[in-house]
Amino acid sequence: MKILGIETSCDETAAAVYDSKEGLLSNVVASQIDIHKKTGGVVPEVASRAHVEQIIPVINESLKLAKTSLEKIDYIAVTHAPGLIGSLLVGVNTAKTLSMILDKPLLPINHLEGHIYANFIRENENEKLKMKNCGVASRQLFKFPAVILLVSGGHTSLILMKGHGKYKTLGETLDDAAGEAFDKVAKILGLEYPGGPNVSRMAEEYRRKYPMTKSQCPINDQIQNPKNLHASRDQAKPDKNPKFMFPRSMLNSGDFNFSFSGLKTAVLYAWQRENGGRTLRRSEATGKGPTSVEARKQMFTYEFEEAVVDILATKTISAAKKYKAKTVSICGGVAANKRLREEIGDRVKKLLPTTLLNLPPIQYCGDNAAMIACVASYRIKKIKKEEIKKLKNLDFEVESNKNL
């Protein structure tokens, strides 16, 4: 069976064709980054208008790359929640129209479930070859129960997955999502949109300048006593400035909830203290010298990213231990963060040596339609033939907020 997946929950217009036997045949994503750079963030009205312009060309391109046609599609799957209402409406109304005209079953898919199923996308032979040439290692098996860290611009949750379609939310953010905090810190520091990748890029620059060996920051010691992490990290770099050691909110709260609003505010106040009411010297303004604005931005992004990663990794490992997880995974846009992937990997290897680590390929971490079609493929396997007719019922709506 061939499934056409459609995703328009925020600012990415995406379509994909997924085959139950051959795997992913195509995955097309039209980005709106250049559009939203002008305003430094996503404007819902602008995003929905861009979806209207892109949706048909993107679907046509996905069909072309898959070497198939709408008539040969067996099922249609579309994101209906959660997300921006205007953006969701474009994808859902397009999918409903195609379903009605072609008389094809239509499955409404939860965007969050889509991110989880980025772990289960099977690439066809061409995609596998591309990934091999790029040096991407094949992924390990996925065993249940699994603890999944879903972390993106709009969501941060820890989820216990007991089987396909069986979820329990262990904890979630009480205010800002981790990805949202990245974007807000980028604005505070005057970095260009999209903020998250630019924060990570500058943090990597700092690590390159002031490398730290494993012996200077042992993983086990870091988890047992975070103060030792700060001390050893402080010794590894020339800038010893405790005021940039940002707080690890709710790290020892005893639950699996998150909070990043206080961390973001701490960055704001520290940045204001460092730069407010002072005329910059020429060397600082031009980004030259050890105390330049650029150097301070690198230090701030480094310390901020370390705080976020520490919080996410610590809670994830704690949940995996408590629920005896056989697999640990991360998904969502922030799952593409290099530092987070490395830290989760290191901690699983050292603290949970018998637990599998499953990290989706980076191209499937952000919003895409391949993950939506993949959810549908697993769901269809459980549907009895007599129930397929129910999938032609188009009486469902878009929702801005919806849990798993």
Q: Model pTM? A: 0.87
Domain map of the chain by residue range? 2-136+364-392, 146-359
CATH fourth-level superfamily of 146-359: ATPase, nucleotide binding domain (3.30.420.40)
From CA 86, how far away is CA 153, in angstroms rounded?
A: 18
Residue written as tokens 């610590």? 314
Q: Do domains 2-136+364-392 and 146-359 have the same CATH topology?
A: yes
Nearest to 187 by CA among 304, 285, 31: 304
Q: Which is more confidently placed, 312 or 283? A: 312
Residue 333 sits at φ, ψ, to 5 deg, of -55, -40
pLDDT tens per residue across span 87-112: 999 999 999 999 999 999 999 999 99
The rounded distance, in Å, linking the Cα atoms of 23 and 217 is 41
* Helices (H) then strands (E): counts for the chain: 14, 10
- Per the CB < 8 A criterion, the answer to whether 85 and 397 are in contact is no
Q: pLDDT tens digits for 323-343? A: 999 999 999 999 999 999 999
pLDDT at 144 > cutoff 80 = yes
Mean pLDDT of 396-402: 96
Q: Collapse the DSSP code of 166 into the 3-class scheme (helix H, G, I; strand E, B; otherwise coil) and give the result.
A: strand
pLDDT in tens, 362-385: 999 999 999 999 999 999 998 877
404: Cβ contacts below 8 Å, ≥ 6 apart: 110, 112, 113, 159, 167, 169
Which class is 2-136+364-392 in CATH?
alpha beta
Mean pLDDT of the chain: 87
Backbone angles phi, psi at 321, to 5 degrees: -65, -45
Q: Does position 279 have pLDDT exceeding 50, yes or no?
A: no
The letter for the amino acid at 269 is Y
Q: Is the pLDDT confidence value at 260 over 70?
A: yes
Give the per-residue pLDDT at 125. 60
Residue with more model confidence, 240 or 22? 22
Confidence band, pLDDT 50/70/90 cuts, at residue 291: low
Residue 274 has a pLDDT of: 83
Round the CA-based radius of gyration of the chain to a whole number and report it: 22
Q: What is the pLDDT of residue 230?
A: 40
Query: pLDDT tens digits for 27-73?
Result: 999 999 999 999 989 999 999 999 999 999 999 999 999 999 999 99
Q: Three-class SS of residue 145?
A: coil
Q: What is the pLDDT of residue 233?
A: 39
Dihedral of CA 1/159/119/47: which sign?
A: positive
Dihedral angle sign, alpha carbons of residues 86, 91, 92, 98: positive
Residue 7: predicted pLDDT: 98
**What percent of the chain lies above the pLDDT cut of 90?**
75
pLDDT of 213 higher than 90: no
